[in-house]
Structure 1
Amino acid sequence: MTDRDSTGKPQALGYEARRILERVEVEGIDLIRFLYVDHGGVIRGKAASRPRLAERMRTGIGHTVAMMAMSMLDHLQEVAGMGPVGEIRLVPDPATFVPLPYAPGAASMICDLRELDGSPWAACPRTFLKDAVAELEAEGYAMIAAFEPEFTLGRRLPDPAGGPDRLVPIDDSLCYATTGFDQAHDFAIKLVRTLQSQGLGVEHYYPELGHGQQELSIRYAPALFAADRQVIYRETVRGVALRMAMWASLAPKPIPDQAGNGCHLHVSLWDRKHQHNLFSDASDRYGLSPLAYRFIAGVRHHLPALVALTCGTVNSYRRLAPRMWASAYNCYGMDNREAPIRICSPMAGSVAASTNLEIKPSDSSANPYLSLGAVIHAGLDGIRRGLDPGEAVDVDPATLSEAERTRLGAHRLPATLDEALDALEADELLMEALGPLRRNAYLAVKRSEAKDFAAEDAAFEAFHHFRVF
């Protein structure tokens, strides 16, 4: 099977591409969605038809540069290099191909954003993570990661008072209560089977604290594929719910008076052959190696700026408050769920392999490629500079005096998106890593969102977040 390049010369397709072309014919897939995540954290894309798929897998689909300056409210921002003039290509990665059982006749692939000559575009978020992974590899490391999302399952209903639509949860069950399992059972089974058919291994599932709140975790993977899986997961959760006449939202606070939805990020560093977990050291009090402590120190150092990328919406900061188990103070600790960096207890019988860190101030409104890439850059900075993370905190930092928190460096993390963006702009390392075009666009998009939502009420904010994320 061949295609032709721009000169008309026949060009052989790779094995993965040929396999996909055969599969779409056999399975009757008519539309293949080419997906990417924008600076607003929104998953967007275009779709190729089956007859044109071979060509589009090679050339990509044309796309205006302006879309990476679009906010989650579809307000286009003025960003140099992202105006009405200019074209990029959505070029799919065949390794990310998955069918969409909740959308019969459709499949999807995740794309890199490329220049017309095929080189990476300076605002491509997936390339940002690829570059961060390459920096890890240059130092002799590989990252294993997993996103751990929560979401709210309910129905989108009109507001009786005439305001924006509301998300009404499917139940009012208690945290981990079996009534929650029963009321969401049909959806949960459908979701599990769909994820597994897409190659995403399910770890565990349970009803969480909030009304209608669910948590279903999938298997860890190398960093790039972990971020790809987060995109597929988000699409699948919402798609399955819609096919069942429900609405699923991964927004941080889709219902203001209910528990927020996090998406904790689990990370560990391994050797490049993925044979040894370099974060593990059985002789240490907390089971961590010196490398792990330096990584923690780097994340702590950059955490005020990092949250602008890991918690990327106005709605995120309704969740990041003291006594919410969402980590409001900059510290770390062993199984401390009020610490933004939690040292996770390893699994018996697999202690070395299961040693990992959990980054708690993280949610599904973030662009996963930017958030994970930024965490890598922050951790690497701690490793390269030999930073010390300070003392671990084994209590809720909100219970400490201000003087004690100051001694421990457990300062309050940004309480608003604007505060987080200020910290990001002041962080030279992360700003340099993002690069001029990407950082200018990200800051413009996020500043506009902060301004737009500041002019509205909580109901407007909740509506626009639960309908998008």
Structure 2
Amino acid sequence: MDIQDVVQKAQEEQLRLVRFLYCDNGGIIRGKATHASRLASRMKEGIGQTFAMQAFSGVEQLAPVEGLGPIGEYRLIPDPDTFVVLPYAPKSGTMFCDMRQTDGSAWGACPRTFLKRMCAELAREGMRAEAAIEHEFYLARRENGAFVPADNSLCYSSIGLDQQAEVIDAILGALESEGIEIELFHTELGPAQQELSVRHADVLRAADNVCLVRETVRGVAYQHGLYATFAPKPFLDQAGNGAHIHFSLWSNDSGNSTNLLYDPGERGGLSQLGKYFIGGILYHIRALIALTCASPNSYRRLLPHYWSSAYGVYGFDNREAAIRVPSLFNGREAASCNLELKCSDHSGNPYLALGGLIAAGLDGIRRKIDPGEPQEIDPGNYSDAERERLGIQRFPTTLEEALNELEQDEVLTEALGPLLSSAYLAVKRNEVAYFKEKTPEEEALQHFYKY
């Protein structure tokens, strides 16, 4: 689509407002809206936003970052291809935006531009990436000031499918109207916990889709008198919400693209290049996790034996590994070959998470990093001595620890660039400091509404 296509569609749908949205360093989806009468000019010029918003944290505080204060502004420039009419908001549409400087050039603090840079790095190596996310979320009601699960359904149970059939049908219908292709849906382990899988897409569109799914699920649920939360651990006594990343690498051909992770002669169909990519992710995993599990609340989920992964290993269909190599589907082995990153949730900015994943994996390919042997058991079942002998590292147990790892990781910080990396670290450390003074219950409640 181009600007005129968007304007014409907005006129046909009689839209009044079009939202210019972005995901910030706190993982919060924010933005401004233009009146439809100014849509064409706003799409060209953008909407002004203070530099300081990229130093704004998830607890609504301004973190100290040099150059991101009250002076100066950037422009929110929408991507026309992301335009959708919102089925849950009257006469409203939305687009996702890049952050650009006032002269139109790229701005170093823009997460979406960072992912574009990583896609360009892949292209220089003759590759492109596709991704899809498994979206886990809870449906809840508010009772006496507290959020409570909307039902008491069981894992994979048809009871939950029946109890929430109306709202789930509305959510799926809304996503379909926005161009999101649905793959799977089921109830998850927790009461009123849901899991939604969408079709894989090129990695930039996949990140846009993450934001659109979050927005749509919450918006439709609210229409039905419910709250939807993607927070990592919204209920301290229940299962956490993940955002598992399924990732594949393809040859950057104009004709028939080849899945570069696939080699029919290797175990599980996993190619040597795929092993090197895994090696890079595992090499950087303790820093990468600061981008993929990006809130204090995340680390209440990342525990041994919780099926969310807690150790830096990989394995074939090992759901306690950081990276699972899924089994292939008969008849479409090459097309179905992918890697699943388990240690990821919706408190992370998807552009940063996917861009960081590419940077780490590319480092593995370029340096031919050996990931070691795949783990055949739950790594949490080893003794400490056995894990030390095998070189199996535990993830950071707090966001603060992960941020320290990120700051020391030259590959990831150089990929992010000086402004984005310093802004991200400052924002996240602001959140760490804030929640040090809060109880676990206060932390869970505040994360519940944000995500």
Which amino acid letter does the alignment assign opposite residue 332 of structure 2?
A: S
3-state SS of paired residue (1:135): helix
Structure-1 separation of matches of 2:413 and 2:5: 40
Are the counterparts in 2 of residues 331 and 409 from structure 1 also a CA contact under 8 Å?
no
Measure the CA separation in 1 of the matches of 2:135 and 2:146.
Answer: 21
* Structure 1 counterpart of 2:219: 239
| Counterpart code for 2:228 | A
Match of 2:378 in 1: 396
**Structure 2 CA distance for aligned equivalents of residues 250 and 337 of structure 1:** 20
For 1:194, the equivalent position in structure 2 comes to 174
**Are 1:340 and 2:322 an aligned pair?**
yes
In structure 2, the partner of 1:219 is 199
User: Which residue does the alignment assign to 1:306?
Assistant: 288
AA of the residue aligned to 1:118? G
Query: Partner residue of 1:37?
Result: 23
The correspondence for 1:288, drawn from 270, 275, 289, is: 270
Aligned mates of 2:32, 2:143 — CA distance in 1: 29
Match of 1:68 among 54, 57, 60: 54
Q: Does 1:96 align with 2:82?
A: yes
1:418 corresponds to 2:405 = no
Q: What is the CA–CA distance in structure 1 between the aligned matches of 2:147 and 2:228, rounded to whole Å?
A: 9
Q: CA deviation at 1:248?
A: 0.1
Q: Deviations over 1:427-459 (max 9, x none)?
A: 111111111111111111101111111111122
Count of residue pairs the alignment pairs up: 449
Residue in structure 2 matched with residue 155 of structure 1 by the alignment? 141
Any conservation in 1 of the 2:268–2:328 contact (CA below 8 Å)? no
**Contact 2:48–2:75 (CA under 8 A) maintained in structure 1:** yes
2: distance between equivalents of 1:420 and 1:314? 10
The offset of 1:157, in angstroms, is 2.9
Per the TM alignment, residue 156 of structure 1 is displaced from its structure 2 partner at its CA by 2.5
- Once residues 323 and 310 of structure 2 are traced to their aligned partners in structure 1, the CA distance between those partners, rounded to angstroms, is 11
Does the aligned pair in 2 maintain the 1:97–1:108 contact within 8 Å?
yes
Find the partner of 1:366 among 348, 351, 359: 348
**Aligned counterpart for 1:125 among listed residues 81, 97, 111:** 111
Is the CA contact (8 Å cut-off) linking 1:391 and 1:408 kept in structure 2? no
For residue 9 of structure 2, what is the aligned residue in structure 1? 23
Instruction: Report the TM-score, using the length of structure 1 for normalisation.
Output: 0.95
Q: Give distance in 2, aligned partners of 1:329 and 1:50.
A: 49
Cα distance, 1:341 vs. partner? 0.4
Supply the distance in 1 between the matched residues of 2:401 and 2:111 (Cα, whole angstroms).
23
Q: Secondary structure at 2:303's aligned position in 1? A: coil
**Distance in 2 between the 1:123 and 1:335 partners?**
37
SS in 1 for 2:267: coil
Residue in 1 aligned with 2:154? 174
The within-5 A match list for 1:260-279 is: 260-273=240-253, 275-279=257-261
Gaps of 5+ in 2: none
Gaps of 5+ in 1: 1-14, 159-164
Whole-angstrom distance in 2 between the partners of 1:401 and 1:462: 31
Q: Structure 1 CA distance, aligned partners of 2:14 and 2:212?
A: 21
Contact 1:330 1:409 in 2 (8 A): no
Which residue does the alignment assign to 2:362?
380
Aligned equivalents of 1:17, 1:144: Cα separation in 2: 26
Alignment partner of 1:447 is 2:398: no
Match of 1:83 among 69, 77, 84: 69
- Tell me, in whole angstroms, the C-alpha distance in 2 between the residues paired with 1:415 and 1:346: 33
Output one character per residue of 1:329-378: Cα deviation in whole Å (capped at 9) or x when no partner: 11000000000100011111111110000000000111000000000000
1:286 counterpart SS class: helix
Which piece of structure 1 moves more, 273-282 or 57-66?
273-282
Q: Out of 311, 334, 357, which is 1:329 matched to?
A: 311
The 2-side partners of 1:81 and 1:71 are apart by: 16
Deviation at 1:322, TM superposition (A): 0.5
Tell me the amino acid that sits aligned with residue 253 of structure 1: K
Name 1:204's counterpart in structure 2.
184
For residues 153 and 275 of structure 1, the distance between their equivalents in structure 2, rounded to whole angstroms, comes to: 39
Contact 1:65 1:87 in 2 (8 A): yes
Per-residue deviation at 1:20?
1.0
Root-mean-square deviation over aligned CA pairs: 0.9
Supply the distance in 2 between the matched residues of 1:83 and 1:74 (Cα, whole angstroms). 14
Percent of residue pairs bearing the same amino acid type: 53
Amino acid at match of 1:353: A
Deviation at 1:104, TM superposition (A): 1.7
Structure 2: distance between partners of 1:48 and 1:423:
40
Q: Distance in 2 between matches of 1:290 and 1:66?
A: 44
* Deviation, structure 1 residue 183: 0.7
Deviations 1:62-103 (A, max 9, x none): 100000111111011111110000110000000000111010
Q: Secondary structure at the match of 1:392?
A: coil
Q: Judge conservation of contact 1:120–1:127 (CA < 8 Å) in 2.
A: yes
Matched to 1:232, the amino acid is L
User: Are the equivalent residues in 2 in contact too, given 1:147–1:217 (CA < 8 A)?
Assistant: yes
SS of alignment partner, residue 33 of structure 1: strand
| Alignment match, 2:231 | 251
